[in-house]
Amino acid sequence: MKKVKPVLLTFALLLFVFNYAICEYYYPGTTNLKGWWFMKSDIYSITIMLILLSCNIGTTGLMRFIFSVGIGFSISDVVDRCYFSSRDFNETDIVMIILVFIFAGVDWFINSKYYKAL
């Protein structure tokens, strides 16, 4: 898994550097400014998720839980922008927050020394 870290970080760096060009390719000449900014925000969320994912590889304990929560929030941000209303805080956001903490807790428990002792 250590060979995956440089690939994830390189991809995150490329997304960060070329996010403007990617948005301009899909929305040329500011014809749809709202879509352009939503795409730019999605690219930033994916970049943050890739960085946190690369940091999560090989960690244990509380840091793994924190990185998993960050990864979950980054993914839920993209899902919220693509499928739900990103301007309102509603019940889907509450469900996503609860699911993020549940999955981060399960990930932390499975990779902890307590689970390996069972």
Q: State the Cα–Cα distance between residues 101 and 1, nearest whole angstrom.
A: 24
- 6 Cβ contact list (under 8 Å, min separation 6): none
Q: Specify the pTM.
A: 0.81
pLDDT tens series, the chain, 118 aa: 678 888 989 999 999 999 989 988 888 877 788 888 888 888 999 999 999 989 888 887 888 889 899 999 998 888 887 787 666 777 888 888 899 999 998 888 887 766 665 5
DSSP letter, residue 65: H
Q: Is 95 helix (H, G, I), strand (E, B) or coil?
A: helix
H helices within 1-118, ranges in order? 4-17, 19-26, 33-56, 62-83, 91-110, 113-117
